[in-house]
Amino acid sequence: MSDSRVLPRSEGKFRTNGGRQNYCMPQSSIVASMPPPPSSVPPRGEVESLLRERLDLHSELFEAAQIQRKLSGPREFRHGSLQFASEVFAARFISGDFTTFLKSGSQVLMAHGDIAGKGVAAGMWFTNLAGLLQCYGDPYSDPATIASEINRHLCYLRPVAPFATAFLARIDCHLGGLTYCNAGHFPPIVLRADGRTDLLERGGPLLGAIEGAKFELGELILEPGDKLVAYSDGVLECRNPSEEEFGLDRILLALRHAKSPSAPATLMMLLATLQDFANGSPLCDDVSLTVIQRDAKHQQPTALGG
């Protein structure tokens, strides 16, 4: 018996000198005329080359992250009666968050901030901002003037330059006096030895947003036993598996319940609390914390140094 099956047909139009005509071609002929598909497995040499490039990229990103950390200053040190501790964790290799310290005599100029965006681009702008801090700031500079100069520079570079927030503070490490300017950053917390809290909000808008913006100064005294905690939005917006955010209230709760004798201990306690809350969830944004803690009354301040 002859095979009566009919192959599927592909219909269409083609143009001849006589005008349009219908054509029919068996689907099997179309398939036979197609070139063979490329191999789904790349050659071994190409795979090895891609792996080498990936390893080189990771190595360069690691080196860039180390340079950024060195430009940020020491993770912890003591100056007079004050202890300083800071840490930055990048969501994507290189962080847009930053913290820097400049020391001279009894004074420390501290900057804690956040450059808009994440990853390599934000990290590259950090070097520019670190240079501006070195150029316009010293431990005896007015934080509001520093903010104005950096704002002028970033506005000049618009629209290329990103926005940035920064908390700038000039600190007398012998007397505990602190003069600050908050340029659009989440307000740092001052936890007093008696349990009272203050939020340091005085300053001006974020940097690079408004040309000619005015910045104001705030002042306070860090009394013996007081703590100052600066943080980025990555801390507040850290999420747990239930999609809850860490938030400001949890920072305050952790600070009030902890009896940390030093700034590094306070920092580690906050990071541990944040890690427990996240419970394995990945970082949504860069995370940074800075803690400044003044010795309690019964402790004698050491000689200035660091």
Q: Taking each helix axis as running N to C, give the angle between helix 247-257 and helix 263-278, from 0 to 180 degrees, rounded to the nearest 10.
A: 130
**H helices of the chain, where?**
27-33, 44-72, 119-136, 143-156, 233-236, 247-257, 263-278
Domain-located, residue 19: no
- pLDDT attached to residue 283: 82
Percent of the chain with pLDDT over 70: 76
Domain-located, residue 305: no
Q: Which backbone phi and psi does 261 adopt, to 5 degrees?
A: -80, -10
Domain-located, residue 259: yes
Which range has the worst mean pLDDT, 39-53, 57-71, 221-235? 57-71
Domain-located, residue 212: yes
Domain-located, residue 299: no
110 or 43: which carries more pLDDT confidence? 110
Give the gyration radius of the chain's Cα atoms: 29
| Of the candidates 277, 270, 271, 276, the residue with the CA atom closest to the CA atom of residue 239 | 277
Domain count, the chain: 1
For residue 281, what is the domain's CATH number? 3.60.40.10
Question: Is residue 270 within 8 Å of 291, Cβ to Cβ?
Answer: yes
Domain-located, residue 143: yes
Of the segments 73-77, 89-93, 155-159, 171-175, which one has the largest average pLDDT value? Answer: 171-175
Which range has the worst mean pLDDT, 9-18, 25-34, 107-116, 150-159? 9-18
Residue 193 structural domain: 56-294
- pLDDT attached to residue 274: 94
* pLDDT tens, position by position, 51-110: 777 776 666 666 666 666 666 677 899 999 999 999 988 877 777 888 889 888 889 999
Q: What is the mean pLDDT of residues 279-283?
A: 86
What is the C-alpha separation between 132 and 127, in angstroms, rounded?
A: 9
Domain-located, residue 12: no
43 or 10: which carries more pLDDT confidence? 43
> Could you tell me the pLDDT band of residue 23, with boundaries at 50, 70 and 90?
very low
- pLDDT attached to residue 224: 94
Q: What is the mean pLDDT of residues 217-225?
A: 96
- pLDDT attached to residue 58: 65
Work out the mean pLDDT of the chain and round it to a whole number: 81
The Cβ of residue 142 has, within 10 Å, a number of other Cβ atoms equal to: 15
Q: What is the mean pLDDT of residues 177-195?
A: 95
- Please list, in sequence order, all residues whose beta carbon lies within 8 angstroms of the beta carbon of residue 99, skipping any fewer than 6 positions away: 72, 73, 86, 88, 110, 111, 112, 113, 230, 288, 290
